[in-house]
Amino acid sequence: MISKRRDDKGRVLQQGEWQEPSGRYRYKYTDSLGKRKILYSWRLTESDKMPEGRRADASLREKERKVQSLQMQGITGSKLTVIELVERYLSLKTGVKHNTLANYNFVVNVLKKEEFSHKKVDDVKLSDAKIFLIKLQRDGRGYSSIHSIRGVLRPAFQMAVDDDLILKNPFGFELGTILVNDSQKREAVSLEDEARFLEFVKNDPHYNRYYDAFYILFKTGLRISEFCGLTVRDLDFKNEVIRIDHQLQRTRDMKYEIVSTKTTSGTRLLPMEEDVKDAFLRILKNRKKTKKEPTVDGYGGFLFLDKNGNPMVALHWEKYMQHAREKYNKEHLLQLPLITPHICRHSYCTNMANSGMNPKTLQYLMGHSDVSVTLNIYTHTGYDDAKKELARLKEAKKELDKNRFVTQKHAQITHESLIS
């Protein structure tokens, strides 16, 4: 009589099942195309507990049932290549902004040049996914570009999982675990550098016309497309409020369009500080006169117009800041770091965070949908910031101890006077 194979708990293992010395289970089977495949799991059945330190996963028997169900239905991911899967996924993305659409086109164009894109979807293993992204970096692709590519592949393969074409998403890992982030970090400008830059612009005979705009970007943390989209009606001087509910962008084919804010949290009302209010009033006073106000999707009264009478867009302000900084660095020994409209936003957020602003308040002002973005991406804290914060806390403790001593002394005097 042939003895039946059992696991370390004494349970009979079915045909194709095996338990490795490590305790992990595996199941070998042949797919509809005659290829040998293996499934793995640390649990045999759903009732088994996941070993400590192991990532949550379906049991082996659950995976077996899913494979058997797919085979009975004649469904297989092998009918799709990676590029076909990506194109199917992107075909479901409707109503996207032109910047997002341009990013999707970039990803598709990169993939079409890669041998990986012609692999069958259910042939792609976790190691294949990692090797492909590592290859992209070795070929000279920047970290941010690879991040964009993985940002399309990951949900595309998840769609294949949800459609029961494959069992597991091979791109379900963190990018930082296999690639070196060689992208340039966007550093905040120090308050000292900010002051030097603004003072230079204010007194420069050419760039002083942009001073108020630069000042507002530094002091409000507005996204540059939000700033470009501001119209006269968005400024409520009576209640000192700036209304942010849209952005102005220009596509690659030079078409102007109004789009919604980056997220629903981007739609917000910003308090208009007195100095910012003064800057806006000067902008309106010096606003370019035109015979016909340009309109974009029903919006008119934009604050800044270019030489052709069209609203200024992000590229204008990026170039103005670049040229102003370059002129400063030519004339001064102490150089200024990189300054862009987006770095102005970084700087505002960092300065507010370092001043002790409540994170949820700062999240609202920045228009972030998640407070983790506010804290982890836009704030840059270093040794000097930590030293200042510890000194501030030390002084606060001294003041608290002093007040406590005064209160106790007052209570003692009061008690003694009552007794006497």
Tens of pLDDT along 78-114?
Answer: 578 999 999 999 988 877 787 888 889 999 999 999 9
Query: What average pLDDT does this structure show over 299-317?
Result: 94
Catalytic residue flag (residue 11)? no
Strand 241-244, strand 268-271: pairing = antiparallel
Please indicate whether residue 345 is annotated as part of the active site. Answer: yes
pLDDT value at residue 380:
54
Specify whether 368 is catalytic: yes
The pLDDT assigned to 312 comes to: 96
Residue 183 has pLDDT above 70, yes or no: no
The reported pTM is 0.64
Instruction: Give the rounded percent of residues in the chain with a pLDDT score beyond 70.
Output: 88
Q: Using CA atoms, how far apart are residues 411 and 2, in angstroms rounded to an integer? A: 90
User: What is the pLDDT at residue 377?
Assistant: 53
Residue 410 known to be catalytic: no
What tokens does 282 get?
A: 């000067």
pLDDT of residue 273: 95
pLDDT in tens, 37-78: 888 999 999 999 999 988 888 899 998 888 777 666 555 555
How many Å apart are CA 134 and CA 131, to the nearest integer? 5
Catalytic annotation, pick one of 63, 345, 346, 348: 345
Instruction: Check pLDDT > 60 for residue 315.
Output: yes
Task: Extract the tokens encoding 339.
Answer: 């300054």
Provide the pLDDT for residue 94.
79
Q: 375 versus 309: which is more confidently predicted?
A: 309
Residue 391 pLDDT level (bands cut at 50, 70, 90): confident
pLDDT at residue 384 in the model: 62
Mean pLDDT, rounded, for 313-340? 96
Residue 143 appears among annotated catalytic residues: no
| pLDDT at position 1 over 60 | no
Q: Does residue 299 sit in helix, strand or coil?
A: strand
* pLDDT for 239: 95
Query: Highest mean pLDDT range out of 79-83, 287-291, 408-412?
Result: 79-83
Q: Which of 150, 223, 325, 346 is catalytic?
A: 223
Q: What is the mean pLDDT of the chain?
A: 87
HSE of 328 in the Cβ direction (CA atoms, 13 Å)? Answer: 26
Least confident segment among 11-20, 202-211, 374-383: 374-383
- Give the model's pLDDT for residue 163: 82
Q: How far apart are CA 294 and CA 404, in angstroms?
A: 63
Q: 340: helix, coil or strand? A: coil
43 in active site = no
Residue 379 has pLDDT above 60, yes or no: no
Q: Which CATH number fits domain 78-177: 1.10.150.130, 1.10.1740.110, 3.40.140.10, 1.10.10.10?
A: 1.10.150.130
When mean pLDDT is compared over 164-173, 180-189, 319-328, 362-371, the highest value belongs to 319-328
Q: Is the predicted pLDDT of residue 328 greater than 80, yes or no?
A: yes
The torsion angles phi and psi of 191, rounded to 5 degrees, stand at -60, -35
Domain residue extents for the chain: 17-75, 78-177, 191-376
**CA distance linking residue 355 with residue 206, whole number of Å:** 34
Mean pLDDT of 132-145: 92
Q: Pairing relation of β-strands 247-250 and 256-259?
A: antiparallel
Catalytic site residue from 119, 262, 277, 327: 262
Return the CATH number of 191-376, one of 3.40.50.80, 3.40.190.80, 1.10.443.10, 3.10.450.50.
Answer: 1.10.443.10
Domain 17-75 class, CATH top level? alpha beta
Tokens of 221: 């943390």
What distance lies between CA 226 and its chain's CA centroid? 17
Q: Of 243, 342, 364, 380, which is the active-site residue? A: 342
Instruction: Provide the 3-class DSSP secondary structure of residue 120.
Output: strand
pLDDT, one tens digit per residue, over 234-273 is 999 999 999 999 999 998 889 999 999 988 889 999 999 9
